[in-house]
């Protein structure tokens, strides 16, 4: 009863709980939060010092007793309590300008399609403990497809590839359900690790994750782009222990990421191979849709097109596709309630208006 009373002053929200970034959609308002999924914790006291953008600025720059960490690894919760505090921070931030002293919103959360029952329950429990009155889970490729405005209810095949920070989701969707899906723990973070390892092996240079990501965004590509680009890579010389910088080209970065990109392409090909022939015919006509931050890697769409012989396009604003899908579900639940996953508190009942 109290939950319903508090709920009248709360705003329903959709959350893309990503490994790299968390985005929050508020019903009737749109996306109002887009912050890194990073939490800074004082290990001496257990106190959370900063969350989101402020915490990300601390990564690699804190004293030993302060740790700036990501509570989600490869799309799943690795630190339950810190994830709960991060979610509570975002929920309270949404309700900062309302009269809700104890916000109890209904929340739709996007999760990877390949998570286990235990991992799924962890997301639901953490969201409830953070203050949600009701929690509804939706698989990220389905949310990305809805956010990309694909006709998911049609009896025809739609392929969505959602490349996030921790996971890549490949799914064939038809008649409001996922026909074939593949989830890989290879995505943006793995590409950063590839660059770090390449620098270590080839230049005897130790660089941080932030530097690797900047190099990837600055000059990274999946195929040759015609014009050679270069960037300065700064770090610590593994032999002398002193600061060192080297000039790397797009060819170096492409070589570093080659194996991971090949695995992603093979996952897409495997998914299509497992798809019923009638849906493959639709896919040939409609093409493959890319979403997520990883889809912004230069030439990745062309690499997939060359290997699958199917046209590929990047969805509009790929970084927000999943959270926009969560928002569409919030705005029109009666039409889309069947895309929600069952809850371990009971079946995912329809949201009351």
- Binding residue positions: 19-21, 165-167, 213-216, 293-296
CA 79 to chain centre: 17
State how far Cα 330 lies from the chain centre.
Answer: 19
Q: Give the closest residue to 294 by CA, choosing from 271, 265, 270, 251.
A: 265
Locate 185 and state its tokens.
């723990």
CB atoms within 10 A of CB 63: 7
Q: Which two tokens stand for residue 22?
A: 């968390």
Sign, CA dihedral 190-192-195-201, equals negative
Cα dist from 188 to 3, 73, 106, 217, 254, whole Å: 39, 12, 30, 10, 14
Structure tokens at 154: 């049609």
Listed in sequence order, the residues at least 6 apart from 94 whose beta carbon sits closer than 8 Å to its beta carbon are 11, 13, 24, 26, 32, 33, 103, 105
Residue 117 has what DSSP assignment?
H
Closest CA to 268 of 194, 164, 184, 190: 184
Give the residue numbers of the binding site for ATP: 19-21, 165-167, 213-216, 293-296
Sort 218 into a burial class: Cβ within 10 Å, 0-12 / 13-18 / 19+: middle
Tell me if 3 sits within 8 A of 81, measured CB to CB. Answer: no
Distance CA 20, CA 162 (A): 14
| 19 contacts 70 by C-beta, under 8 angstroms | yes
């Amino acid at each position: 009863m109290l939950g319903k009373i508090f709920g009248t002053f709360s705003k329903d929200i959709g959350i893309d709980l990503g490994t790299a970034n968390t985005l929050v959609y508020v019903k009737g308002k749109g996306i109002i939060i887009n912050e890194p999924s990073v939490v800074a914790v004082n290990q001496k006291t257990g106190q959370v010092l900063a969350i989101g953008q402020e915490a990300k600025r601390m990564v690699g720059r804190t004293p030993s007793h302060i740790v700036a960490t990501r509570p989600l690894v490869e799309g799943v919760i690795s630190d339950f309590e810190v994830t709960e505090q991060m979610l509570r921070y975002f929920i309270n931030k949404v309700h900062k300008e309302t009269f809700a002293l104890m916000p109890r919103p209904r929340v739709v959360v996007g999760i990877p399609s390949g998570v286990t029952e235990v991992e799924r329950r962890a997301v639901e429990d953490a969201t409830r403990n953070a203050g949600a009155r009701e929690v509804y889970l939706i698989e990220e490729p389905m949310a990305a497809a809805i956010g990309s405005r694909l006709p998911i209810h049609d009896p025809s095949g739609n392929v969505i590839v959602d490349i996030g920070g921790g996971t890549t989701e490949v799914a064939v969707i038809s008649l409001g359900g996922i026909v074939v899906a593949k989830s890989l723990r290879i995505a943006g973070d793995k590409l950063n690790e590839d660059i770090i390892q390449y620098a270590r092996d080839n230049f005897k240079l130790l660089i941080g994750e932030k530097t690797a990501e900047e190099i990837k965004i600055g000059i990274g590509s999946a195929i040759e782009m015609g014009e050679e680009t270069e960037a300065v890579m700064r770090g610590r010389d593994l032999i002398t222990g002193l600061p060192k910088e080297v000039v790397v080209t797009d060819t170096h970065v492409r070589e570093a990421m080659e194996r991971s990109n090949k695995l992603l392409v093979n996952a897409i090909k495997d998914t299509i191979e497992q798809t019923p022939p009638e849906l493959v015919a639709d896919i040939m006509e409609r093409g493959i849709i890319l979403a997520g931050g990883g889809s912004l890697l230069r030439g990745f769409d062309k690499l997939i097109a060359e290997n699958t012989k199917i046209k590929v396009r990047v969805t509009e604003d790929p970084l927000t596709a999943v959270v926009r899908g969560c928002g569409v579900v919030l705005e029109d639940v009666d039409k889309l309630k069947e895309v929600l996953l069952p809850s371990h508190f009971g079946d995912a009942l329809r949201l009351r208006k």
